[in-house]
Structure 1
Amino acid sequence: MSAKPRQGRVKCVVWDLDNTVWDGVLLEGDDLRLKQDVVAVIRELDALGVLHSIASKNDHDAAIAKLVEFGIEEYFIYPQIGWSAKSEGLRQIAQSINIGIDALAFVDDQEFERAEVNHAVPEVIVVDVADLHDAVAAPEFRPRFVTAESAERRHLYRTQIARAEAQDSFVGPSDEFLASLEMVFSIKHARQEDLQRAEELTVRTNQLNSTGRTYSYEELDALRTSPEHLLLVATLDDRFGGYGTIGLCLVEKGETAWYLRLLLMSCRVVSRGVGTVLLNHVIGLAAEAGLPLRADFVETGRNRMMQITYAFAGFTEVERDGDRVVLERASLQVAPHPATVTVVTDAAPETVGAA
C-alpha cells in the first residue's frame, strides 16, 4: 500500500529490515545485501532533516551488528528490534522522539505487517518498499527549507540520547543533574538568517505551540522589521553541545497592552526545566513597558501542555470564541529564571537592512 494523503510533515521514517533495507532474511542465514537504492533514500532524507528508526521482528543484537557491519547503524535512532507488533514499535518510537504518531511513515515489504500497522495506528503513512521512490517524492517528505540545523537533526537527537544516558547514570536529585548540564538559554531578536528555522518551527511544533498557526518566511521577515512587533528566537546549549533553535515568540506592542500572538517551544527541551524561560522574558519586557500582557491561545487538541504553561505563569482567560481564547497576565511581577540555567539576551533588534 502506498502513502496515504495527509496534511502534516513526516518527521521520522521507520524501516523494516529483512527484504526492505537489505535483501534476504537475517535469521535464516541468508547472504544479506544492502538495497543501495533504499540506502540512498535514507541518506537523502537524513540530509533534509528527516529522522530514521527501525521496527523489525528480529534478534536485536544480531540486527544491530549487521547494521554496524554495513556502516548504516548511525542513521537510526531508538530502533525497536524484537518480537512485538510493529505498531507497538511505532508507538514507542514516537514517544521516544516526542512527536505525534501521525508524524511517522513506515516502510515494509510484507503486506501482513503493513495491514497490522494500518489497522492499529491508521495515522501513520504506510509504504510498500516497492513503492518507495514514488512515496518519498510526496510533499509530506519534503520540507520547504533545509536549514543548517535541520540537516544536523539526527546528530542533535543522538546528543540527546547521550544526555539521557548520563541522566540515567546520575546519582542525586534531578536539580543537581540539571545544574551539572551547565545550560545556557539565549534569547535574541530574530535576524534574517533565523527565519527559515523559525518557519520550520511553526510547521513542526505541535504540543508547545500556543495557536497552531504556521508563518511563512515572508510573513516572519515582515514582522521582524515591524516597529509594532517583537520577533524573538531562543537557543539552548549545554556541556554536551547545542539543542539548536528551540523557541519562537511573536509580540504585538499595543498602546494599552502587549499581545503575545505566538509562543512555541520545541518538545526536546521540556525535560530540561526551561519551558517558561522565554515566556518569563516576554513578561519582563511587558513589565518594563508598564503594560499588561495578553496572549492568544487556540485549543488544537494537541497543545494542552502550552495551556498549562500559561496557567502556571499566572495567565487567566478573559475572552473566548469557541476554541479561540485570549489570556491575560495583569500582574507586572516577573518570576525568576530557574537556577539551573543561565539566560543570555541581546540588547536590541536587528535594524532594517542590517547584515
Structure 2
Amino acid sequence: MAHALSASIPNQVKLVVWDLDETLWNGTLSEEGISTVEAHLQMVRDLVDRGIMCSICSKNDFEDAKAALVDLDIWDYFVFPHIAWSPKGQAIKAMIAAMGLRDENVLFLDDNHLNLEEAQFFNPNVMVFDANQDILPLMDLPTLAGKDDKSHSRLKQYKVMEEKQVEQAETGLSNIDFLRQSDIRVKVITDVEDQMDRVYEILNRTNQLNYTKKRANTPAEKAQLQTLLNTAGVHAGLIEVQDRYGDYGVVGFFCVSAKYSGNVVHHLAFSCRTLNMGVEQWVWQFLNEPDFRTVGGVANPIDAHENVDWIQDVKDFDAPETARQQQHLCLVGGCDLLQVSFYCGTDRDEFVNKPDDNGMLVRFDDVGFFLNQRDPVLNRLFTQKNFIGYGSDDMVALDESLASSDLILLSMYFSFANDLLFQYRGKEPGSEFLGSVPPRRFQQLMRDQKTAMRFAKSMQHRPYDIHDRLDLTHRCFQVADVLRRADAPIFIIGTTVRHGPQAERNPKPRIAFNDMCRKFCAETHNAHFIDIDTLLTPAEFTDSDHYSRTGYFKIADFVNSHTMMKIAA
C-alpha cells in the first residue's frame, strides 16, 4: 500500500488543492450541512508549516464557504481559492498559472472521480488523489516532506501575490502599468557565503525561471560551486525583492565571470514568486545583458520586455526614500572597475576595458582620454579610433558623465605605469594627441603590414620619465575635479605596494603613484583615496593588480558606505 501510494504522488508537492464537500469536511455545505474533520484541518496547518501551500477548488457559494472556513479558523491558511459553480479543470489551470507553479508539482484532492479526470485533462501532469480514501497517510510521503516554514514566510509571500492580482483586476490596469505603480525594489546581496543554504535551494528547487539549470545537490556539485565562487573575476549575488504589497524574500541567484569581452553566465535562477514582475530581466540588464544559452524550458524569455525600467535598485529597504534614490555613477579605469561595478548600482557610465569592433582591447585609463583636445575638427584628423580605440565621441561622453554624475570612481594606475604612450602630430598647428596602446593591442596592430606602416608614420613613442607620467595622471584628476559638481565625490583607487610579484619586485613606482593620489585627495574638496593595502587582507589579493570577489566587494562597500552617510547627513 505504501509503495502504491508513493507511486501515485511521484513529484515534489508545492501546492495541495482541496475540494471542500466530502473532502476537507464531511457533508455538503449547501444541503444537509457539514461536520468537521479536525485531522484534515490539522493536515492543512501542517502542510503550510512545511512550506507547502494549500488552495481550494470547490463548487459552492463563495461567501457561505468562506464563512464556514473562518468559523473553523482555517481560512487564512489558503491562497488563491476558487469557490464557484464552475468547472474545476480550467479553474485549477488558472490557479496554477496565477501562482507561477507547474502542474507537475500540484496535488488535487477530490471525492468525485469526474473532477479528478477533468483536472488532469486540462492539467496533464497534475497529481490527483481520490479523497474517498484515507488522505492522512499522504503526510508521510517524502514528496510532501516540504521544508520547515513554521514562520509561514511562503504563505505570506503568496498572500502578497494574491492581493496584487486582486488589486490589478479591480483597477483594470495593464500589466506594465500595474508594475509601474507597484514600487518594486530589488536588493542585490553579494555576501552570499552566509546564505549558501538559500543558494542551494534556489538552484535545486527552481525550474520555470531557472535559465541555466545547473544544480548543487551532491557534495561534489557543492564543492564545484564553492571553487567557482572563490575564482578571481567571478561575481555572485542573491536577489531580494519587495514592493508596496509586501516582502517576497530572497528569490534569485546569479553567478557570472566578468571579462572585458563580456560576462559569462554560470548560474541564473529565480523563484516563481516574482513571475511576470520582470525581476529576472532586470538582473540580466544589471549584468550588462550577457549572451548565453537558456537551458530547457522557461516561463519567460530573459528579454520578455523591451526594457525593465519599473524596478529600483536599493541598498537598504528600510532607508528613507531620499536615501534609496539611485545615484548616477561615472567609473573610469581598468579591469578592477569592471569587477567593482557589479556592486555599485545599475545607473552608471562605465569607461572600463572593453573590446572594440575588431576585438582589440580599448583602455580608458589613459591620460589622453582626459587631456586631449575635444575639437571635433582636430579629432577628425586624429586616427585614434583605429590606433587607440576610443574616439572623440567617447571623450565627449566622458566629459558629460563627469559633469552629470553623483559620484566619480577612478582607477588610473595603468595611465601612470604603462610605457606605451604615443603622440600623434597632425598637419594642423596644435593637432597633437596622446594615446596609450596596451601591449596586446599593439601586437595586434603590428600584425598587419599596412597598419604597422601607418602607425609608424603617424605615431611617435614618448618615453616619459616617472615624474612626467605622474604629472600627466595628476592632470587627469584635475580635469575630473573641474568638470564635476561640487557635491559629487571623487574616489581614487590606489595600488598595492606589498602584495603580488609585481609589487614585490618594484614597489617604488607604486609608492610614488599612491603618494601622488593621496596628496591630490588631501588638497581637493570631497576627494577620497582608497588605500588598497589598508582596506583588503592579504588573502584578498590574487596578484598585484587583481583581487578576489570579496576584495572587489569591499572596495564597492567603501564607496557605497561613504555615499550613504553623505546622503543621510
TM-score, normalised to structure 2's length? Answer: 0.49
Deviation for aligned residue 1:8: 4.0
1:14 to 13, 17, 27: 17
Deviation for aligned residue 1:190: 4.4
Distance change (3 Å), C-alpha of 1:66 and 1:224: farther
C-alpha separation in 1, matches of 2:51 and 2:309:
31
Distance change (3 Å), C-alpha of 1:24 and 1:239: same
Alignment of 1:8-87 (within 5 A): 8-30=11-33, 32-87=34-89
Amino acid in structure 1 at the alignment position of 2:98: S
8 Å contact 1:105–1:124 — kept in the other structure?
yes
8 Å contact 1:185–1:343 — kept in the other structure?
yes
C-alpha separation in 2, matches of 1:198 and 1:259:
19
- Equivalent residue for 1:200? 201
- Equivalent residue for 1:136? 139
Amino acid in structure 2 at the alignment position of 1:134: P
Q: After superposition, what is the alpha-carbon deviation per residue over 1:152-175, rounded to whole angstroms, capped at 9, x for unaligned?
A: 111111122222333344487866
- Equivalent residue for 2:248? 243
- Equivalent residue for 1:183? 184
C-alpha separation in 1, matches of 2:266 and 2:9:
27
SS at match of 2:109: strand
Structure 1's unaligned 5+ residue stretches are 285-292, 314-334
Distance change (3 Å), C-alpha of 1:270 and 1:115: closer
1:232 to 225, 233, 237: 237
Q: After superposition, what is the alpha-carbon deviation per residue over 1:79-138, rounded to whole angstroms, capped at 9, x for unaligned?
A: 122233332222121122121121210112334433443455341111233342332322
Distance change (3 Å), C-alpha of 1:115 and 1:303: closer
Distance change (3 Å), C-alpha of 1:350 and 1:272: same
The structure that has the greater radius of gyration is 2
2:148 to 131, 146, 149: 146
Deviation for aligned residue 1:75: 1.2
Distance change (3 Å), C-alpha of 1:18 and 1:212: same
Q: After superposition, what is the alpha-carbon deviation per residue over 1:290-309, rounded to whole angstroms, capped at 9, x for unaligned?
A: xxx553432x2x31623545
Distance change (3 Å), C-alpha of 1:180 and 1:118: closer
Distance change (3 Å), C-alpha of 1:223 and 1:188: farther
Alignment of 1:1-355 (within 5 A): 2=5, 4-5=7-8, 8-30=11-33, 32-129=34-131, 130-143=133-146, 145-146=147-148, 151-170=152-171, 177-216=178-217, 219=222, 222-223=226-227, 225-228=229-232, 229-252=234-257, 258-283=263-288, 293-298=290-295, 300=296, 302-303=297-298, 305-306=300-301, 308-309=303-304, 338=309, 340-344=311-315, 346=343
8 Å contact 1:262–1:296 — kept in the other structure?
no
8 Å contact 1:207–1:306 — kept in the other structure?
no
Deviates most, 339-348 or 97-106: 339-348
Q: After superposition, what is the alpha-carbon deviation per residue over 1:280-325, rounded to whole angstroms, capped at 9, x for unaligned?
A: 22228xxxxxxxx553432x2x31623545xx79xxxxxxxxxxxx
Deviation for aligned residue 1:217: 8.2
8 Å contact 1:224–1:230 — kept in the other structure?
no
Deviation for aligned residue 1:24: 1.4
Higher relative contact order (CA 8 A, sep 6+): 1
SS at match of 1:341: strand
Distance change (3 Å), C-alpha of 1:161 and 1:115: closer
* Larger strand share, 1 or 2: 1
C-alpha separation in 1, matches of 2:311 and 2:167:
17
C-alpha separation in 1, matches of 2:240 and 2:141:
31
SS at match of 1:87: helix
Deviation for aligned residue 1:350: 5.3
C-alpha separation in 2, matches of 1:14 and 1:184:
31
C-alpha separation in 2, matches of 1:162 and 1:117:
25
SS at match of 1:275: helix
RMSD: 3.3
SS at match of 1:245: strand
C-alpha separation in 2, matches of 1:81 and 1:73:
12
8 Å contact 1:260–1:296 — kept in the other structure?
no
- Equivalent residue for 1:318? none
Q: After superposition, what is the alpha-carbon deviation per residue over 1:228-268, rounded to whole angstroms, capped at 9, x for unaligned?
A: 43221101112332111122112245797642012123333
C-alpha separation in 2, matches of 1:213 and 1:253:
19
Distance change (3 Å), C-alpha of 1:222 and 1:8: farther
Deviates most, 217-226 or 256-265: 217-226
Distance change (3 Å), C-alpha of 1:81 and 1:168: closer
C-alpha separation in 2, matches of 1:198 and 1:249:
9
C-alpha separation in 1, matches of 2:311 and 2:241:
13
Deviation for aligned residue 1:3: 5.9
Alignment: residue pair count: 314
C-alpha separation in 1, matches of 2:55 and 2:249:
21
* Larger helix share, 1 or 2: 2
8 Å contact 1:2–1:127 — kept in the other structure?
no
Amino acid in structure 2 at the alignment position of 1:306: P
Deviation for aligned residue 1:343: 4.1
C-alpha separation in 1, matches of 2:135 and 2:212:
34
C-alpha separation in 2, matches of 1:25 and 1:231:
54
C-alpha separation in 2, matches of 1:207 and 1:159:
20
C-alpha separation in 2, matches of 1:6 and 1:127:
8
SS at match of 1:27: coil
Distance change (3 Å), C-alpha of 1:210 and 1:148: farther
